[in-house]
Amino acid sequence: MSEEEKQNNEMTISISKDKLWKYSTFILLAVVVIGGFIMFTGDNGNTGTTGNVVAPTGNGNTGGSAVSASIDNDAVLGNKDAKVTIIEFSDYQCPFCERFWSQTLPLIKSEYIDTGKVKFVFRDFPLTSIHPQAQKAAEATECVKKQGGDEAFYEMHDKIYENQAQLSESNLKVWAKELGYDISTCLDSGEMRAEVSKDLADAQAAGGRGTPYFVINGQALSGAQPFSAFQQVIEAELAKA
């Protein structure tokens, strides 16, 4: 190989390395920018809804000043005069919300709700940008509540979480019918849409940025936390009473 050919090859290799470095830098920068955008915006593609499903991290307590949230006109489970109130802002299609329902709520119910120490209130927080069935599921439970009251609401609530993988608008009507309620007209008309929207707005105003989100006597707890996390807050509140 001639000296001129060697110089040309070296120049080609140098240029290729230079381009590779530039391309790699550009790709890395793009990944950082996109990652930062996702981190700050979550999976929300709908400006009407903030947040994402929340995996449990630490003890979940946000700390700081007290959080303000009311039970509004939503369904109450347990003694309405209980000293401790747990408000759950939740999404029927959220996997971590189902985890709380199946693993933690039964323990809270047997230890505190059934004994009259705690009342539990479920309020709607549908993340429609990532859970397209959540809005109608929330409306369906409100339609059932209108016909059968708080007890019927929680029967439908349990039915949905029990069958979360099969969640659809048509199945919501079937499940309600199995419980003895015809919600077709209510659900199709969107009669409960405003009720659900009110809950969502209250969840955001209370600091909710993902589901499930809890307010226990004014203290925030975020994510599908284990029973011990709830027990710690509940016992502290009962000690004040």
pLDDT digits (tens, 9 = 90+) for 74-130: 999 999 999 999 999 999 999 999 999 999 999 999 999 999 999 999 999 999 999
pLDDT digits (tens, 9 = 90+) for 200-217: 999 999 999 999 999 999
Burial (Cβ within 10 Å: 0-12, 13-18, ≥19) of residue 32: exposed
pLDDT digits (tens, 9 = 90+) for 190-202: 999 999 999 999 9
Q: What is the pLDDT of residue 145?
A: 98
**CA nearest neighbour of 72 among 61, 59, 85:** 85
Structure tokens at 181: 């309620």
Q: What is the pLDDT of residue 22?
A: 52
Residues 127, 211 contacting (CB under 8 angstroms)? yes
Mean per-residue pLDDT over the chain, rounded: 83
Q: Distance (Å, rounded) from C-alpha 18 to C-alpha 7?
A: 16
pLDDT beyond 50 at 37: no
Distances from the Cα of 149 to the Cα of 32, 137, 206, angstroms: 50, 17, 26
Which residue do the tokens 């003694």 mark?
79
What does the pLDDT average to over 167-192?
98
Q: What is the pLDDT of residue 64?
A: 44
Q: Where are the domains of the chain?
A: 1-41, 52-240
Q: Distance (Å, rounded) from C-alpha 152 to C-alpha 155?
A: 5
What does the pLDDT average to over 49-66?
50
Residue 208 Cα to chain centre, angstroms: 9
Compare 51 and 209 and report the one with higher pLDDT: 209
Question: What one-character-per-residue DSSP string does 34-89 give?
Answer: HHHHHHHHTT---TT---EE----TT-B--SSPPP---TT--EES-TT-SEEEEEE
Q: Distance (Å, rounded) from C-alpha 149 to C-alpha 136?
A: 18
Question: What one-character-per-residue DSSP string does 180-196 give?
Answer: T---HHHHHHTTTHHHH
Percent of the chain with pLDDT over 70: 73
What does the pLDDT average to over 25-49?
40
What's the pLDDT band for 228 if we cut at 50, 70, 90?
A: very high
- Give the angle 111-227-195 at the CA atoms, nearest 5°: 85
Cis previous bond, 212, omega within 30: yes
What does the pLDDT average to over 12-39?
45
User: What pTM was computed for the model?
Assistant: 0.76
Domain topology for 52-240: Glutaredoxin (3.40.30)
91: DSSP letter: -
212: DSSP letter: S
Q: What is the pLDDT of residue 66?
A: 83
- CA torsion, ordered 130, 199, 213, 90, to nearest 10 deg: -50
